[in-house]
Amino acid sequence: MRSNGLSTINKQIALKYEISKIDTLQYIISAVYQLKLICLRHPMTETKLKIALRRYSSPYKHSQNDISFNCLFQNINVLNRRRVSDINNKTSQKNSFNTRQSSKDTSMEVDNPLNKHHFLLQCIIGVGGFGKVWKVSYKQQVFAMKEISKALVLLKQSVQSIMSELQFLTELRHNFLINAFSAFQDNNNLYLVLDYLGGGDLRFHLGKLRKFTEEQTKFFAACIIVGLEYLHENNIIHRDIKPENLILDSQGYVRITDLGVAIKKTGQNFETSGTPGYMAPEVIFRQDHGAAVDFFALGVICYEFMTGRRPYYGNRREIREQILAKQVQIQTSTEGWSNESIDFINLLLQRKPQNRLINPRQHKWFKNFPFELLLQKKLKAPFIPKTADNFDQSQIYYEDEENNQIIRLHQHLIRENQHLFQGYSYQENQSQFRIKSKKSSVNNTKIFQFY
């Protein structure tokens, strides 16, 4: 590395590492990870650095523009030349990383707000009515991150649902639910960081297999029952139990997700929410309803897993007419299912909630079922996803593009209603998603530390 024209910081790097050229990303990373980078107060500095590291990691040499720290710093504007002269030799010493412990240090630790650029976005794994779900990584951990469009939320008048979902997730934590770790926002989107499960949802697998066996259905139902019992103990009614909201982990266990239309049962409720085909009759007919609506949906799911079709089809009006016409009842199974399983499904599908099975764990179909081992996840699941990521990429692309077109047409809604999203923020574990930086009480300079 030539010394002419190099800043003080670059001289220190050259002396410290005793290298003449940096030709590969390996050298760059090994140096940067041990160096305190001096930067201007700019929220994108860390991201720009990462981009620049990838950009200048080519193994090929350039005769007129060597890959060097000098070139790197110039391109991402990390150095504040007016401050370089104030940096002394102590900045390259090892104990400079622990300035907080020094009695002479006047800097204090501060937390930078989490944002989308702190995560490595790997791929889109799902698209819904409000946006998309990313598979992301953060400090070698994998998460699912919901990117919720404010424009879509406002267009569908669902601000209260989105805010309520976050509130519920901050109060709940269970092994059979998809749990939240962090929530934040920018001008256009809300972000929700969740457990990542690579097994795909039950809708994806049902589409592939058309039906499940009795043993597989029984295991899925047991997982759903455990999750619903926890929600109901906390006075929360899910109201949208369906295969799309039941996610498999790599071991074949099911977790419940999406509390977007969930409510806390504190009094009477006559609102109609959920997905036609899985709605209980009392919801469709706008009657007061409680936890029994979730067990009706469980009955629909078990019926669908057995027969390959739902008991009621069509829009809300058509389903309402079918419910009024007759009570769905399975007589026998062509797949050889037991009489206990048939009775279990029939009791869940009762039109009147007072006749419906609301304590399914106690049904004879689950006699001697080891729920304690299930809770500890010590049972071998009868169905285990075969691949790491189980998603329909073609359908995801189509639905994402459709959402993007709608978002572009309704950007004005965000400008007029930004205040409605105030308070959409959450950190489950302050140390897990902590963006470490130091703020000097004298010159307000941030020093980023890389780990």
- Listed in sequence order, the residues at least 6 apart from 104 whose beta carbon sits closer than 8 Å to its beta carbon are none
Task: Report yes or no: 252 and 198 within 8 Å, Cβ to Cβ.
Answer: no
Cβ within 8 Å of residue 295, ≥6 positions away: 228, 348, 356, 357, 358, 360
Q: Around Cβ 110, how many Cβ atoms within 10 Å?
A: 11
Strands (E), 186-230: 189-195
Using alpha carbons, list the distances in angstroms from residue 451 to 10, 87, 177, 201, 417: 21, 22, 31, 34, 39
Collapse the DSSP code of 148 into the 3-class scheme (helix H, G, I; strand E, B; otherwise coil) and give the result: strand
Q: If we measure between CA atoms, which residue out of 292, 285, 270 comes closest to residue 321?
A: 285
Catalytic pick among 23, 105, 111, 240: 240
Amino acid identity for residue 128 in this structure: G
Binding residues: 146
Told to judge if 240 belongs to the known catalytic residues of this protein, a careful annotator would answer yes
Query: Alpha helix (H) ranges present in 21-156?
Result: 25-32, 45-55, 69-76, 81-84, 150-155
**Which residue shows structure tokens 């295991």?**
219
Which residues make up each annotated binding site for ATP?
146
Question: Mind telling me the catalytic residues?
Answer: 240
